[in-house]
Chains A and B, each alone.
Chain A
Amino acid sequence: MYGLLWDAIVNLVQLKYLLPLVIGTAAGVVGGALPGVTITMTIILVLPFTFGLDPLQGLATMTGVYVGGCAGGLVTACLIGIPGTPSAIATTFDGFPMARNGQPGRALWLGTWASCIGGLLGAIFLIGATVPLARFALEFGPWEFFALFVFALSMVAGLVESSLAKGLLSGALGLIVTVLGNDPVMGHTRLTLGIPMLEGGIDFLPVLIGVFAFAQIMTDVERMGGAARFGDAVDRSLSLAVSHVRVIWEILSRPFLLLWSSLVGVVIGVLPAIGGSAANMLAYDQAKKFSRHPERFGKGTPEGIIASESSNNANVGGSLVTIMAFGIPGDAVTAVMLGALTIHGIQSGPLFISQNTTLAYGMFAAYLLAHPIMVAIMWVGSRWMLRVTTVPKAVLFPVVLVLCVVGAYALNNTMSNVYVLLSFGVLGYAMVKFGFPLAPFILGVILGDQIEINLVRAIMTDANPWLFLTRPISGVLIAASVASVVFALWQHRRHQKRLAQSADGDADF
């Protein structure tokens, strides 16, 4: 395994792979630093540029975007108090106070080095766990895959705190998208609603681009006109000079915090569609609970920055494990990567590593190398990036929308994908406004075909439906699906009860 990894690293340092990785990482750092542009949106924008590249070049670019984006969010979080991405929210809590206390360089570099070290810890997990997990997944039959995909969907839907019904309905709507057009087993045309464009089914990438890009852009457009620009808050006289040795020592002298936060990040990454936004908040919360000085949190303590940043970059490693071992995207970013693999005719899942060894180890190498590259980019460009955040949204959004159109169109050079993009853009915005979570919907769209294929295969192999429950792995996964829904229901009721109690308490005053 280590021989293959070394070969992959040697292969990746060739200019033809290194350049896309550096460009991707730089794009990720800039996209992550721009408030209002998430990592998902950055990777969506980069996607069309990867179509002409070979698969490893494309995946190296995307891996770079992912790693860079996770770190980029901390620039604005620390220096102007606005998280560039949701995965840097918790970094703001201590990064910005530290910068205001006259230590902007320390805040920025604590975050950067914690991201790098946390990411490398995530890489150890990624490299160590993917192969055994993929081997384990090779034991799966259609019953187990069906149960696994249902479990992933039920878990994501169940994580919605506001309403379990909305989470489940959102996932079901995603599944409906996959039943329109054609049957993935026999290619039989069905439910086209008289629309010829639906006859071939709906590609999931235009759906994903439309839903995420419009949900993000339009919710920002709603607020345009009133709010001050980010640039107004930028102090260009900030000094970011710092002793890197001291900063690295400051991180390494807290090994338990670093390891625990990275572990939280990895575990959250493995769970489907939760993502870095939950990882950094959870790690921050854990760090505060374990700290001997919890009162220092929120006032510029290094622990807060280290916890948040190490967890969100370790999260990337966890997310990549699920896509490489099971073919289940860990979050929206890996969903786009899954789409990119499909475009190149590569099937992710348990056979991915054995059938595409060079590509799989190339991804490991890209993930490892992206971290030092990210640090170098931050070193060269952090001050410059601060100026990039002053780009007005009236300039940014039209360009982003054009790239979304080109991305959708370039998938197979037809306008039908652009119409899908527009339709699902409207739907995505409507879902956000009606409080429907997007993650279960997207997971439904991605997994729908696989759920159907495995269900039909299982029934065609043996019509006995009890096999879904009596086969051990499948049974455990189905039980876990039911348990996750029951747990979510219980959690929701408890949450509602607490809200009612606090409302009563308020009324007494």
Chain B
Amino acid sequence: MIGREGVTGLFACAASLVLFWLTLGLEKNPLVPIGPGFYPRLVLGATAVLGFALFVADLLRQRARPRAGSAAPAERLNYLLVALTFAVFGIYVLLLPLLGYRVATFLFVLCCCFLLEPPRGVALWLRGPVLAAATTLATYFTFEDYLAVLLPRGSWTGF
């Protein structure tokens, strides 16, 4: 039975070997005789060996470890909330060039705030839009006007 570390090690080993194989196609440069693939091959070779070592170590540990008895109950972690937060952030990043910074940021802060603490009562319902508007306006004016950073405009909104 392979554990989580073993799978990670195998994945790292396989990915490194694929990249290693890709470096074999790199052309040599007459100015740098060892070529642009020399150092990547060293790094990828070492990564493959380390990945394989992690896999072997995990395999040996799994064999040596007696079957666990009654372990202490683990802390319940809210992975669904993590996945949803990543999803909301991913959608925000995708929408930024389409909706523009101001619209996308307002929607992101609003959704994220409601997602992390679902509103119960008028105060929490109000908090989301106020926070979203304040964050959007404060960052927009600070960066555009004061720090001369041209924040993304939306190709759909032109805004």
A-to-B contact residues, CB < 8 Å: 48-49, 51-52, 163, 165-166, 168-169, 172-173, 175-176, 179, 183, 185-186, 188, 190-191, 193, 217-218, 221-226, 392-395, 397-399, 401-403, 405-406, 409-410, 413, 415, 418-419, 421-422, 425-426, 429, 434-436, 448, 451-452, 455-456, 459-460
Whether the Cβ atoms of A401 and B112 lie closer than 8 Å is yes
Q: Which residue of B36, B53, B82 contacts A188 across the interface (Cβ within 8 Å)?
A: B36
* Residues on B with beta carbons closer than 8 Å to the beta carbon of A455: 39
**C-alpha gap A435/B57 in the complex (Å):** 15
Return B87 CB to nearest CB of chain A, in Å: 11
Whether the Cβ atoms of A165 and B54 lie closer than 8 Å is yes
Whether the Cβ atoms of A395 and B50 lie closer than 8 Å is no
B1-33 contact mask (Cβ, 8 Å, vs A): 1 or 0: 000110011001000100100110011010111
Return B117 CB to nearest CB of chain A, in Å: 3
Q: How many residues of B contact A (CB 8 A)?
A: 66
Query: Could you jot down 24 A-B contacts, CB within 8 Å?
Result: A51-B147, A165-B53, A165-B54, A165-B57, A169-B12, A169-B51, A176-B19, A183-B36, A185-B32, A190-B26, A221-B116, A223-B75, A394-B113, A398-B113, A401-B112, A402-B135, A406-B139, A410-B147, A425-B89, A435-B5, A451-B39, A455-B39, A456-B39, A460-B34
B-to-A contact residues, CB < 8 Å: 4-5, 8-9, 12, 16, 19, 22-23, 26-27, 29, 31-34, 36-40, 43-44, 46-47, 50-51, 53-54, 57, 75-79, 81-82, 85-86, 89-90, 92-93, 96-97, 105, 108-109, 112-113, 116-117, 127, 131-132, 135, 139, 142-143, 146-152
**C-alpha gap A183/B37 in the complex (Å):** 9
* Residues on A with beta carbons closer than 8 Å to the beta carbon of B44: 176, 179
Whether the Cβ atoms of B142 and A398 lie closer than 8 Å is no
Whether the Cβ atoms of A224 and B36 lie closer than 8 Å is no
**C-alpha gap A399/B50 in the complex (Å):** 39
* Residues on A with beta carbons closer than 8 Å to the beta carbon of B105: 402
Known: A172-B47, A186-B32. A225 touches B89 (CB 8 A): no
**C-alpha gap A225/B8 in the complex (Å):** 30
Whether the Cβ atoms of A179 and B77 lie closer than 8 Å is no
**C-alpha gap A183/B36 in the complex (Å):** 6
* Residues on A with beta carbons closer than 8 Å to the beta carbon of B117: 224, 392-394
* Residues on B with beta carbons closer than 8 Å to the beta carbon of A392: 117
- B52's nearest neighbour on chain A, judged by CB, is A165
Please report the number of residue pairs spanning A and B whose Cβ atoms sit closer than 8 angstroms.
Answer: 171
Whether the Cβ atoms of B81 and A224 lie closer than 8 Å is yes
**C-alpha gap A193/B22 in the complex (Å):** 9
* Residues on A with beta carbons closer than 8 Å to the beta carbon of B148: 52
Q: Which 8 A-B pairs have the closest CB atoms?
A: A394-B117, A52-B147, A394-B116, A398-B112, A183-B36, A179-B40, A222-B77, A172-B47
Known: A172-B46, A397-B112. A434 touches B4 (CB 8 A): yes
Whether the Cβ atoms of A429 and B57 lie closer than 8 Å is no
Known interface pairs A409-B152, A456-B38; 18 further A-B residue pairs with C-beta atoms within 8 A, sorted by A's residue number? A49-B142, A49-B147, A169-B54, A179-B40, A185-B32, A186-B29, A188-B36, A191-B19, A217-B85, A223-B78, A224-B81, A224-B116, A394-B112, A395-B113, A398-B132, A405-B96, A410-B147, A426-B86
Whether the Cβ atoms of A222 and B96 lie closer than 8 Å is no
Q: Which residue of A395, A418, A459 contacts B93 across the interface (Cβ within 8 Å)?
A: A418
Return A315 CB to nearest CB of chain B, in Å: 30
